[in-house]
Amino acid sequence: MASRAATGRAIAIIAGLVLALIAAFLIWRYVNTADQRAQEGAELVDVFVASGGIPEGTTAQSAVSQNLIELDQVPTDVRPENAITSLEQISGLAATADIEPGSFIQQGQWGDPTIIDADFEVPEGLVAISLQVGIPEGLSGYLTQGDRVAVIAHIQAPPSTTSTTIGPDGNPVEETVEDAELDTTRAEFVARDGVVLTVGQRTIATNEEGTQEDEIQTDEALVLATVAVTPEDAEKLVFSSNEGLLHFALLPETGELPDTPGRTFDDLFQE
């Protein structure tokens, strides 16, 4: 009799556990389907989220090019009030603080890259110089703090120069000297080992005159980079930036850039 009673109690306990598990499953299913039904009935709106971590100082252009920002949809009541609905809202701006993966991209997280505080030190023996170039010349958004870079200058040299001599009367005389070697377009490295201290981006709006009836508004995106280079290279960069076009080139973390002769039309396709 005692054995039958114990067996009955065990069966009752097992049955109770089974019923409890079934009830828990039904409750879980109801809650989840209720959430799904609520979301299906809600109005969905576009929202941008961080698909990966976005470090402070990263430009919106760089974050997009690295696929760190992606488009998603959420119910209207889920999207934060300050969340952006278009990438144009952060165009030309940079992250003012680290943005965690999965976070909504919000307007208040971005600011003018030219006024974002930067924590850097100029290495001993070098000087810091800021350069402004176009998006392609600035490596299309892939230029980041700490990168080793070289800079190539593309310059149209003047067809002639002047020299000063002393005339028979002892007074200086300026003469124009034609020099065929100067009359050429040349591309050559003018800085061979620099370090990027800060990098940002801004957009400049300019007006171009069309016909008398219209005026065209254009936006030019620019990369602003502060680099540490030798004093000699700084002089070359200042001169080159005013006389021609600069291009950044990424270098590996270690190693030296091989010597190159520079290029003109005459030797462009030579080894």
**The pLDDT value given to residue 153:** 96
87-91, 93-97, 126-130, 188-192 — which is least confidently predicted?
A: 93-97
Q: Where are the domains of the chain?
A: 44-111, 127-250
Q: For 63-96, how does the pLDDT look when each residue is reduced to its tens digit (9 = 90+)?
A: 888 889 999 988 888 888 888 988 988 888 888 8
What percent of the chain lies above the pLDDT cut of 70? 66
Q: How many whole angstroms separate alpha carbon 104 and alpha carbon 74?
A: 11
**Res 48: pLDDT:** 93
Average pLDDT, the chain: 77
Which residue would you say has higher pLDDT here, 54 or 2? Answer: 54
Question: How confident is the model at residue 169, as a pLDDT?
Answer: 76
- Tens of pLDDT, residue by residue over 209-262, are 544 444 444 445 678 889 999 999 999 999 999 999 999 999 998 888 999 989
Please state which of the ranges 66-75, 117-126, 185-194 shows the lowest mean pLDDT. 117-126
CATH of region 44-111: 3.90.1210.10
pTM above the 0.85 mark? no
26-30, 61-65, 136-140, 246-250, range with greatest mean pLDDT: 246-250
What are the structure tokens assigned to 103, written together? 């976070």
Res 119: pLDDT: 66
pLDDT of residue 97: 81
